[in-house]
């Protein structure tokens, strides 16, 4: 990297600093009744769709310390034709704005929902 910018964040999420939380999360996920989803869950760990509950548990635990691959995830869904519409919950249109850099047409299919 040519430049580093400190970010104001609430925690060291998606880094090895969160490794101590993984075992507790795995316990909670093991106890959770995760069913096969009607539509695949696209993970921000590997940017791939997953439908197997055991695989979903595993990928959720990895998410704690793995970097977020959101851009690759969204590009993959757009390129494959799997992205039809999205919903951004909360104030502003940050996600839709970021999505414009990936695909302007797909960004137009994101609806902001004020909560």
Q: What is the pLDDT of residues 49-94, one digit of tens each?
A: 999 999 999 999 999 999 999 999 999 999 999 889 999 998 888 8
Q: What is the pTM of this model?
A: 0.76
Looking at per-residue pLDDT, the higher value among 4 and 112 belongs to 112
For 30, other C-beta atoms within 10 Å of its C-beta total: 11
Residue 43, sorted as left (phi over 0), alpha (psi -120 to 50) or beta, turns out to be beta
For 4, other C-beta atoms within 10 Å of its C-beta total: 6
Q: What confidence score (pLDDT) does residue 14 get?
A: 87
Q: Could you tell me which of 95, 91, 114 has the C-alpha nearest to residue 106?
A: 95
| Angle CA 92–110–114, to nearest 5 | 40
When pLDDT is averaged across residues 7-34 and rounded to a whole number, the result is 91
Looking at per-residue pLDDT, the higher value among 99 and 3 belongs to 99
CB 112 within 8 A of CB 96: yes
By the 10 Å C-beta count (0-12 exposed, 13-18 middle, 19+ buried), 77 is classed as buried
When pLDDT is averaged across residues 20-34 and rounded to a whole number, the result is 96
Q: What confidence score (pLDDT) does residue 86 get?
A: 92
Quickly state the pLDDT bin for 29 (edges 50, 70, 90).
very high
In angstroms, the CA 63 to CA 38 distance is 21
C-alpha count within 13 angstroms, C-beta hemisphere, residue 44 = 10
Quickly state the pLDDT bin for 3 (edges 50, 70, 90).
confident
Q: What confidence score (pLDDT) does residue 1 get?
A: 62
């Amino acid at each position: 990297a040519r430049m580093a910018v400190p970010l104001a964040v609430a925690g060291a999420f998606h880094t090895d600093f969160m490794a101590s939380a993984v075992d507790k999360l795995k316990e909670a996920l093991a106890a959770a009744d995760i069913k096969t989803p009607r539509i695949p869950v696209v993970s921000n760990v590997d940017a791939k769709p997953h439908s197997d509950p055991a695989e979903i548990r595993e990928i959720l635990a990895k998410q704690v310390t793995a970097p977020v691959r959101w851009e690759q995830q969204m590009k993959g869904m757009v390129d494959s034709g799997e992205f039809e519409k999205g919903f951004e919950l909360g104030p502003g249109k940050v996600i839709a704005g970021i999505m414009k850099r990936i695909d302007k047409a797909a960004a137009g299919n994101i609806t902001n929902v004020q909560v």
